[in-house]
Amino acid sequence: MLLYLKEQFIEHQKCGNINIKPGLTFVVKEINIKIMKHLSKIIFIVALGSLTINANQLSAQRGHGGHGDGRPAHVKTKVGIKQHPNARLVMKSHYRPHNVVVFHPVWGPNRNFNRRWVYFPKYNFYWDNWRQGYYYINGGAWLYSSSPPPVIVNVNVNNEKHYELKETEDDVDDIYNSNTNHQTEYKTE
């Protein structure tokens, strides 16, 4: 290793890549092995120290996320939900409110809801209490909108039959994937 370094230094010196200022004496012939060992220890300690500083900076930044409880805003928490004999793992939605909230939607301010999703089977759309918007199908694709879907513009949905979906579905952001189940479970009257 030392011989290789010595050869590299001499090659760079010949090419003019290394300039030695006048007045400095630099002996290439003999490289003190003890100095090289100490140098490698110093480099190792400096590298280890910089890793420790970086780790401390990362841990010091914890707690400055968007949730106020130490979780960064972009990280989803995993929540285990037991169903039947199988247990499935569901990601906790980042739209979830931190406190227990009673929702009063814009279309029914006198209504009280505790769950995220309200399903309207007659018009086959969902109201999202957390995001204060509608999920509806349009041209074969599910859309989200804060304004009412075109199919209910002249309908008073406060008087329409609706179902508050189960608590286990609160953390499901793409509720429309369960639409066929909801259509059979919550039939129109």
Which of helix, strand or coil describes residue 143?
A: strand
Rounded mean pLDDT, 153-167: 92
Task: Return left, alpha or beta for 133; rule: phi > 0 is left, psi -120 to 50 is alpha, else beta.
Answer: beta
* pLDDT at res. 27: 45
Question: What phi and psi values does residue 103 have, to the nearest 5 degrees?
Answer: -95, 140
* pLDDT at res. 133: 94
Q: What is the pLDDT of residues 9-31, one digit of tens each?
A: 666 566 665 555 544 444 444 45
Spatial distance between the Cα atoms of 18 and 9, rounded to a whole number of angstroms = 8
- Is pTM, for the whole model, over 0.85? no
List CB contacts of 118: < 8 A, sequence separation 6 or more: 105, 126, 127, 129, 162, 163, 164, 165
Q: What is the pLDDT of residues 17-69, one digit of tens each?
A: 555 554 444 444 445 566 667 677 777 777 766 666 655 555 555 545 555 55
